Chain A
Amino acid sequence: MEAENLVAETARRILADVADPQSANRAKDDAWKGPAWAALEEAGLTLAWVPDALGGAGAELADGFAVLREAGRCAAALPLAETLLAGWLLAKAGIASPKGALTCGPAREGEQVTVSGNGTMSGTVRAIPFAKGAKHLALLAQRQEGGLVVALLDASLAHIGDGTSIGGDPQNRVSFKAARPSAISAAPAGIDGQALLLMGAAARAMQMAGALEAILELAVHYANERVAFARPIGKFQAVQHNLARLAGETAAAVAAAGSAADTIARASSIDEAVLLEAAAAKIRVGEAAGEGAAIAHQVFGAIGFTQEHTLHRFTRRLWAWRDDFGNESAWAVKLGNLVAAKGADGLWPMLAAR
């Protein structure tokens, strides 16, 4: 699909240039990431969700989501989503975003950071994407005397563990003790742990939709090229039907993620419509990621299982992204409880209102 807006078009062009999956896959080390990040930062894409006054590019939420779909399409191994989300969270509390890579947390349900009376922070958050390499962390924290705050913490004040996700990107345990944030401000009404997870879920859903679009294109191309039994494998009905299923899963992902992003972009707050849409997107896109990656691998056979081929750049991230900002099961329990509490006769009106 053609990018519909200039911001996404810019992202597509820059990403093709600096984060092309083939070149990234051939690279011997991470040296390409520095210039790639600089190019994105230079174009204002990394702080797209931060208003001008707070040091950002002041783009629309919809633009940022469109950028994330582009990033997913090239399986960009860069903290673009994390920095966008961190910038969004900081801006909500009126805190300016510094330059450089950011990440945010908590990214999993049930974790808490506390701020003591003297304004220092303590706590541990697990599985923070791209914490290693981030200059600053944007954290949602609980004040000891009550109330939520958003805090900006210099990453050098935290202990950041090693480790990578199955996608191959940093995913770290972050702990800090009596660390003093460089900025701290009360979280506005409606911005809480669930709101951050919902934003993160919608962001990951867009990345996954983009990655599914990419593997569909790769797999169809390969099926038309690869000859076996004297014809392209794409001429076999069994392969065609598998690819049709992959197209169906990709379509579902694009629709669900796009709908959630559109809902957030139009919403005046993180309300129940956002909960339905973003939770549904993370669930359905996560399911599509599992099904879709399996089909793509089946089409490619052994070559798709090699380091040399780019397919794993997409499929490994698809699997990993399912777990960030709430997995399918966690959101399904939440959504199921919401539906149950409304009662059977509230279900259709809720769906039809979307």
Chain B
Amino acid sequence: MATELTFDAIRLPPECEALRQDVRAFIAKEIDAGSLDPHGGGIDGAYSADFSRKVGAKGWIGMTWPKKYGGHERSFLERYVVTEEFRVANAPVRLHFVADRQSGPVILKYGSERIKADILPRICRGEVCFAIGMSEPNSGSDLFAARTKATRTKGGWLVNGTKIWTSNAHQAHYLIGLFRTSPPSKENRRHGLTQFVVDMKTPGITVNPVYQMTGAHDFNEVVFEDAFMPDDHVLGEVDGAWKQATSELAYERSGPERFLETFYVLTELVRVLGQRPDTRGAEGIGRLVAQVHTLRRMSVSVAGMLHAGKEPVVEAAIVKDVGTIWEQELPHKARDLAAFVAPESANRATFEERLGYAIMIAPKLTIQGGTTEILRGIIARGLGLR
């Protein structure tokens, strides 16, 4: 049956709870020390070299990777706990988050031995920031339209072209780039693209800021002009990147960051409505809590399947589809529910500030990392409709 969906009631094992307490104690200490502001302005994960180093020292980056490369050989479920606790605490994990979630695993699977030995231990120590160089001015959701070209030269490749919407590129030490190494074949338009690890210090790379509508600098344009990539910086098969992308996406799509990005709005809503909300407020909170509880149970279920070595591609796409729609609607629902809050409520200013921020960033939630439309296409394929 194509419509079978598996969401078993998986619970995090006891070792996760002990770890959770460690993470919370660490967060509490960092808040006291002033290096983590749970109500901070920037919100979605600030960049802090100091904080990332401390997290690395705790052993909470590259948790599931082999010890040989600086990893800790812990379970995927333990990593889940660290991710969700940091996300809810608004921890400044921007430096290492992408490297830990997706760049490291790709290198681990497809990187040359030299690259693995060089880069992975530094990721684990929280020293290395990665960016993802996929989108181009005329290639967003349609990745296989990428035109930035890598051409053969002695000992490697020369890259020319432009990537865009590249988050963190101005702070990143490395980027994983998707470049065209051959034209698409007649039978397979996905053929001809290759993944590379790009050292951002390489001559011929220029990073230009693209400011976001919130005023923040996150996006960049990355221009490559005869930038040289050594042969051992190729990840996996030349021309075969399309084969490498699919199963890892389940990790990227189903994590707690796919429904908790605006969670602070719910916390502040509960605070602003007080301990004895009216019926409307209570009902509103109750529904939102039921919804986010369900999302977390779905996400943990997918994590459990990944942990068990399964590839729940459709289930993961569903978590991101339903989860990002929810976190996008949350600020608007919170705004409605707080409409009659007394002006003197204790945290009203904090609530309004964070609400305003969440409303502004909400549109990106259903775009980044795979749009709603792309996800629904994947789900439809899984249902046997395509």
B-binding residues in A (CB < 8 A): 1, 213, 216-217, 220, 223-224, 234-235, 237, 239-241, 243-245, 247-248, 250-252, 254-256, 258-259, 261-263, 276-277, 279-281, 283-284, 287, 328-329, 331-337, 339-341, 343-345, 347-348, 351-352, 354
CB <8 Å contact, A244 and B379 = yes
Contacts of B84 in A (CB 8 A): 352
CB <8 Å contact, B7 and A251 = yes
> In the complex, what residue of chain A is closest to B375 when comparing beta carbons?
A244
CB <8 Å contact, B4 and A341 = no
B385 close to chain A: CB less than 8 A: yes
Among A240, A251, A256, A277, contact of B377 (Cβ-Cβ < 8 Å): A240
B386 close to chain A: CB less than 8 A: yes
Give the distance in Å from the alpha carbon of A277 to the alpha carbon of B290 in the complex: 8
> In the complex, what residue of chain B is closest to A258 when comparing beta carbons?
B9
From known contacts A255-B298, A258-B7, infer whether A217 and B1 are also in contact, taking CB-CB under 8 Å.
Answer: yes
Contacts of A344 in B (CB 8 A): 267-268, 270-271
> In the complex, what residue of chain A is closest to B380 when comparing beta carbons?
A240
Contacts of B88 in A (CB 8 A): 348, 352
Contacts of B85 in A (CB 8 A): 352
From known contacts A224-B385, A284-B294, infer whether A244 and B321 are also in contact, taking CB-CB under 8 Å.
Answer: yes
Tell me the B279-313 residues at the A interface (CB within 8 Å).
Answer: 279, 281-287, 289-298, 301
Among A235, A255, A283, A347, contact of B297 (Cβ-Cβ < 8 Å): A255
CB <8 Å contact, A251 and B3 = no
CB <8 Å contact, B20 and A352 = yes
> In the complex, what residue of chain A is closest to B282 when comparing beta carbons?
A336
Give the distance in Å from the alpha carbon of A255 to the alpha carbon of B85 in the complex: 22
CB <8 Å contact, A254 and B321 = no
Among B270, B274, B277, B385, contact of A220 (Cβ-Cβ < 8 Å): B385
Among A216, A241, A354, contact of B376 (Cβ-Cβ < 8 Å): A241
CB <8 Å contact, B7 and A254 = yes
From known contacts A252-B322, A336-B277, A343-B275, infer whether A220 and B384 are also in contact, taking CB-CB under 8 Å.
Answer: yes
A-binding residues in B (CB < 8 A): 1-9, 11, 20, 84-85, 88, 263, 266-268, 270-271, 273-277, 279, 281-287, 289-298, 301, 314-315, 318, 321-322, 373, 375-377, 379-380, 382-386
CB <8 Å contact, A279 and B385 = no
Give the distance in Å from the alpha carbon of A243 to the alpha carbon of B254 in the complex: 20
> In the complex, what residue of chain B is closest to A280 when comparing beta carbons?
B290
CB <8 Å contact, A337 and B376 = no
CB <8 Å contact, B290 and A284 = yes
Among A1, A280, A287, A328, contact of B5 (Cβ-Cβ < 8 Å): A1
Give the distance in Å from the alpha carbon of A263 to the alpha carbon of B10 in the complex: 11
Give the distance in Å from the alpha carbon of A312 to the alpha carbon of B266 in the complex: 37
Contacts of B2 in A (CB 8 A): 220
CB <8 Å contact, B376 and A217 = no
CB <8 Å contact, A213 and B3 = yes
Give the distance in Å from the alpha carbon of A343 to the alpha carbon of B263 in the complex: 15
CB <8 Å contact, A247 and B284 = no
Contacts of B375 in A (CB 8 A): 244
CB <8 Å contact, B376 and A347 = no
CB <8 Å contact, B383 and A351 = no
From known contacts A284-B290, A344-B271, A354-B296, infer whether A262 and B9 are also in contact, taking CB-CB under 8 Å.
Answer: yes
Q: Give chain B nearest CB distance to A280 CB in angstroms.
A: 4
Q: Give chain A nearest CB distance to B201 CB in angstroms.
A: 40
CB <8 Å contact, A241 and B373 = yes
CB <8 Å contact, A328 and B9 = no
- Known contacts A235-B386, A335-B285, A336-B282; 16 further A-B pairs (Cβ under 8 A): A216-B383, A237-B377, A247-B3, A247-B314, A255-B7, A255-B298, A284-B290, A284-B291, A334-B286, A337-B282, A339-B270, A344-B267, A347-B289, A351-B293, A352-B20, A352-B296
